[in-house]
Amino acid sequence: MANRLRSCAFVLCFLSLALEVKNGFGLVKENPRACIIGAGYSGLGTARYMKEYGVNFTVFEATKHVGGTWRFDPHVGTDEDGLPLFTSMYKNLRINTPRLTMEYRGFPFPDDTQSFPTGECFHKYLKLFAKHFELEKQIEFQSYVTSIKWAEDHWNITYTKVDKKETRTAECDFVVVANGEFSTPVWPNFEGQDTFKGKMIHSHDYKDPDEYKNRRVLLVGAGPSGLDLAVHLANVTSKLVHSHHLNYNQPYFSNTYIKKPDIEMFTSNGVIFQDNSFEDVDDVIFCTGYVFSHPFLDKSVGITATEKFLLPLYQHMVNIRHPTMVFVGVPKKVLNSVLEAQGEYAAALAAGKFELPPQETMLKAWLKHVRTLHSKGIKILDVNVIGNEMDNYFVNLTQEAGIYRRPPVLTDIRDFNAKYRLDDLLNYRDFDFRIIDDYKYERWYNPRQGNPCPIDD
């Protein structure tokens, strides 16, 4: 791995010699046009700041709706227009981090909203946000982007106008890629998997616990989705087999819940685990995460985009080769507040509120980031992870772009909730949070029957 990192650094340093060095990004047109890909949480947040900074912009959204992954869609595989299904929302979902860490700045939920509202309620919040800031006027709905190319002094965005079945191309001076991360699932591959006669799905296609009533179900994985579905299904299924290796304070789910280690292989009617035990099951749900998907990026973009990472990106955002392209939503292990801050940074850049360093300087900063990861034993696959450096990241964005400094209390709430969620999985959402100031918050027990949402459609 060390040799590969040194090789990567050498190649990128060599490439930097060929970069056209510019101070800042400096759009020369009098009324440059910014284009945003996606009208989910990140795209809407970016659009709000583009409007506030007076930038001429258009949002290209593949579906008929705002909200991205937060919108529930009953379809599986493809949506009503035959497009890939971009949302992973399911019935009865509740957010797993307090809404205070997910609210847009200056646009809070109503005061009486529980701290962990439902996914449906959060989608209502996003729709209300778009309506309040009159963003839909700048959204081209049913516009499925298929290609982004660099054309010497501008970007060509090719998209399919889904409702008219037409292919169109738009010229843009600045591009924000905000297409989300939770739409392309990771499918594991086990021996004998193709011989299993039951139904296999990824949690991306999971919709309703009632589909599994009195069924024998294997749940694979204990990330956020895996743990949440264990809660949803334990009292619905006739048997819930949960294969994972997470070490946490496992609650009592039900007397039909069976914890198992990792999978060894499948048979036609069940699965053998690494402890050589066997369980017969009817259905399998893989809660095995998601990968990046940017099939529309042409090689002229100058980004190495894989399922695991994008590089090189300055500040986890800026395309160093072509700094008029910015990605919002790439960083991993962060709160939604990071994505909103990135949206404000992108808008400030597009509006000329600040200038980027020369490209060589940005590349050196990125290489320093890679070397720091390597010194900590972190793999290049995690080059887009911010994690525990989240508060420092807020500081860096503020110092460079002059944007609002998201308060340290958000990081403290994130860290507390991440631990407490694993300590008390069944009850942690029954607590409410309130921010006292930039450094302090309070928390109290306040369960709500029926999970009411004070936002109307």
- Measured CA to CA, the distance from residue 119 to residue 122 in angstroms comes to 5
Structure confidence at residue 32 (pLDDT): 87
> Is residue 451 assigned to a domain?
no
- Measured CA to CA, the distance from residue 260 to residue 245 in angstroms comes to 8
Query: CB 222: neighbour CB atoms within 10 A?
Result: 21
> Is residue 353 assigned to a domain?
yes
Q: Pinpoint the alpha helices (H) of 376-456.
A: 390-401, 408-423
* Residue 216 belongs to domain spanning: 193-286
> Is residue 421 assigned to a domain?
no
> Is residue 439 assigned to a domain?
no
Give the position of tokens 């991993």.
Answer: 332
Structure confidence at residue 23 (pLDDT): 34
> Is residue 345 assigned to a domain?
yes
Residues 199 and 177 occupy one common structural domain: no
Residues 205 and 138 occupy one common structural domain: no
pLDDT in tens, the chain (457 residues): 444 444 444 344 434 433 443 333 444 466 789 999 999 999 999 999 999 999 999 999 999 999 999 999 999 999 999 999 999 999 999 999 999 999 999 999 999 999 999 999 999 999 999 999 999 999 999 999 999 999 999 999 999 999 999 999 999 999 999 998 888 999 999 999 999 999 999 999 999 999 999 999 999 999 999 999 999 999 999 999 999 999 999 999 999 999 999 999 999 999 999 999 999 999 999 999 999 999 999 999 999 999 999 999 999 999 999 999 999 999 999 999 999 999 999 999 999 999 999 999 999 999 999 999 999 898 889 999 998 999 999 999 999 999 999 999 999 999 999 999 999 999 999 999 999 999 999 999 999 999 999 998 7
Pairing mode, if any, of strands 239-243 and 216-220? parallel
Chain centre to alpha carbon of residue 10: 31
Phi, psi (degrees; rounded to nearest 5) at 169: -130, 130
Residues forming beta bridges with residue 177, ordered by sequence position: 37, 327
Residues 60 and 74 occupy one common structural domain: yes
> Is residue 43 assigned to a domain?
yes
Residues 157 and 218 occupy one common structural domain: no
> Is residue 141 assigned to a domain?
yes
55, 328, 422 from 419: Cα distances, Å: 41, 27, 6
Q: Which of 47, 71, 68, 50 is nearest to 59 (CA)?
A: 47
User: What CATH number is associated with residue 228?
Assistant: 3.50.50.60
One-letter amino acid at 122 equals: F
Query: CB 158: neighbour CB atoms within 10 A?
Result: 16
- Measured CA to CA, the distance from residue 301 to residue 295 in angstroms comes to 12
Last residue of a domain, one of 390, 409, 428: 409
Stated pTM of the model: 0.93
Last residue of a domain, one of 286, 314, 347: 286
Residues 138 and 256 occupy one common structural domain: no
Structure confidence at residue 87 (pLDDT): 95
Last residue of a domain, one of 286, 302, 328: 286
To 10 degrees, what angle do helices 2-16 and 359-375 make?
170
Residues 26 and 174 occupy one common structural domain: yes
Residues 11 and 145 occupy one common structural domain: yes
Residues 376 and 280 occupy one common structural domain: no
56: part of which helix (H) or strand (E)? strand 56-60
Structure confidence at residue 378 (pLDDT): 87
Contact 246, 230 (CB under 8 A): no
Residues 261 and 296 occupy one common structural domain: no
> Is residue 456 assigned to a domain?
no
Residues 74 and 55 occupy one common structural domain: yes
Residues 180 and 238 occupy one common structural domain: no
- Measured CA to CA, the distance from residue 45 to residue 178 in angstroms comes to 10
Residues 25 and 151 occupy one common structural domain: yes
Kindly report whether the peptide bond that precedes residue 452 is cis, defined as omega within 30 degrees of 0. no
Q: How many separate domains does the chain show?
A: 2
